[in-house]
């Protein structure tokens, strides 16, 4: 724990040096918003960061680390280092602590990111990975059963570990912080290569997974690790966007007037009437775009079948809907 505290103070000291601090002070980048200290939103954001870090600590300590799973990122590297250094140091007989190792890796990465990419990483990000490192080692230290997995089923551990990491990261992202780590490596490579950031992040995490394969010489490790990476990504999306049970429909029909009235009067929903032209027939068409609940879809389908069996309907999942009659865009932006 003392090592983590020392590393955290070292990072803050470095970030306060004039050459880097001036970059922070002079920036006008919109993605580092100014926030009043001790305001309601300040408490919400830092509460989300702490909660997100706590969920990630639970995931790593109870589900991921005990099974030697390395799901990318600096903590994936830290897990590999933790297991291969077991018995090497008298002070750490079980191996170098995952949290402290992750923090030590994050410090030079963040400094390099600030130096090369500019001030993209605010105080929230620095506090985020520092708190996460402290909690990962703190929860491990408080456990009475050492590093034993909560469940012996590796697949079950991957599922629950991936969900908890994803939800934790999603909460951190909602607080307008980032996870740092391997993301910074991908950003630096992107600056000089011009490659897609998304593809580079996958490539960097995959390289870390392959490091685990070489270290542990077990093909199941990378397979389980990639599964955790996939589940984590899905959990982040759900946490960021929420679960919405609404459907977006595009309806092309000659009887658009009857369908429009049914949507407005019977379902009490709104929509937009678009003008289009058939690609083959070159015929003018009216297109209805509307959003309704999942429960209302079969009701509308039955009505359309009755008035125009030849209608063309496209039904799409709507992960998030903002606007009149649904969630307020202003409230979402203010809340997030």
Residues 6+ positions from 202 with CB-CB distance below 8 Å: none
Phi, psi of 252 (to 5 degrees): -115, 115
Mean pLDDT of all residues in the chain?
Answer: 82
Percent of the chain with pLDDT over 90: 45
∠ CA 115-119-125, rounded to 5°? 105
Instruction: Quick: pLDDT tens for 30-74.
Output: 344 456 777 888 888 899 999 999 999 999 999 999 999 999 889
Select the more confidently predicted residue: 175 or 263.
Answer: 263
Segment 211-228 shows an average pLDDT of 92
Phi, psi of 325 (to 5 degrees): 90, -10
Q: What's the pLDDT band for 26 if we cut at 50, 70, 90? A: very low
What is the pLDDT, as a whole number, of residue 179?
67
What is the pLDDT, as a whole number, of residue 262?
94
Please check the confidence at residue 24 and state whether its pLDDT lies above 60.
no
Nearest to residue 123, comparing CAs of 240, 42, 236? 42
Instruction: Quick: pLDDT tens for 112-154.
Output: 888 887 766 678 888 888 999 999 999 988 887 878 888 999 9
Instruction: Quick: pLDDT tens for 307-331.
Output: 999 999 999 887 666 666 566 656 5
Q: Which residues pair with 276 in a beta bridge?
A: 285
What is the pLDDT, as a whole number, of residue 191?
83
Give, for 306, the enclosing helix (H) or strand (E). Answer: helix 297-307
Q: Where are the domains of the chain?
A: 2-241, 246-335
Residues 6+ positions from 34 with CB-CB distance below 8 Å: none
What is the pLDDT, as a whole number, of residue 19?
35
Q: What's the pLDDT band for 254 if we cut at 50, 70, 90? A: very high
Segment 72-82 shows an average pLDDT of 93
What dotted CATH number matches 246-335? 3.30.70.120
Residues 6+ positions from 238 with CB-CB distance below 8 Å: 166, 167, 170
Phi, psi of 96 (to 5 degrees): -60, 135
Q: Cα 48 vs. chain centroid, distance in angstroms?
A: 13
What is the pLDDT, as a whole number, of residue 25?
34
**CB-based burial label for 96 (10 Å; 0-12, 13-18, 19+):** buried
Q: Can you tell me the distance from the alpha carbon of 61 to that of 67, in angstroms, rounded to the nearest whole number?
A: 10
């Amino acid at each position: 724990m003392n090592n983590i505290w020392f590393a955290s103070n070292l990072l803050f000291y470095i970030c306060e040096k004039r050459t880097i601090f001036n970059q922070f002070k002079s920036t006008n980048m919109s993605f580092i918003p100014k926030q009043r200290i001790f305001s309601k939103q300040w408490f919400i954001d830092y509460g989300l960061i702490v909660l997100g870090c706590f969920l990630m600590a639970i995931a790593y300590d109870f589900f991921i680390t005990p099974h030697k799973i390395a799901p990318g990122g600096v903590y994936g590297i830290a897990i590999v280092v933790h297991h291969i250094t077991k018995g090497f140091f008298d002070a750490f007989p079980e191996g170098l602590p995952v949290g402290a190792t992750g923090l030590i890796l994050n410090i030079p990465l963040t400094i390099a990111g600030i130096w090369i990419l500019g001030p993209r990483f605010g105080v929230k990000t620095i506090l985020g990975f520092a708190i996460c490192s402290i909690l990962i080692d703190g929860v491990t230290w408080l456990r009475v059963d050492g590093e034993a997995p909560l469940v012996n089923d590796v697949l079950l551990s991957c599922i629950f570990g991936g969900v908890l990491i994803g939800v934790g990261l999603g909460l951190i992202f909602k607080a307008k912080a980032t996870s740092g780590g391997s993301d910074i490596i991908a950003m630096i490579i992107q600056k000089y290569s011009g490659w897609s950031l998304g593809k580079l992040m996958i490539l960097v995490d995959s390289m870390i997974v392959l490091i685990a394969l070489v270290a542990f010489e077990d093909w199941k490790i990378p397979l389980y690790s990639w599964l955790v990476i996939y589940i984590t990504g899905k959990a982040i999306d759900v946490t960021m966007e929420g679960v919405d049970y609404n459907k977006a429909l595009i309806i092309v029909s000659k009887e658009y007037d009857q369908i429009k009235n049914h949507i407005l009067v019977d379902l009490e929903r709104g929509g937009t009437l678009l003008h289009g032209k058939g690609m083959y027939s070159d015929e003018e068409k009216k297109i209805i775009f509307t959003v309704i609940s999942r429960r209302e879809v079969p009701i509308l389908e039955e009505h359309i079948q009755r008035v125009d069996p030849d209608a063309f309907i496209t039904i799409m999942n709507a992960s998030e809907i903002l606007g009149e009659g649904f969630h307020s865009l202003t409230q979402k932006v203010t809340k997030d």
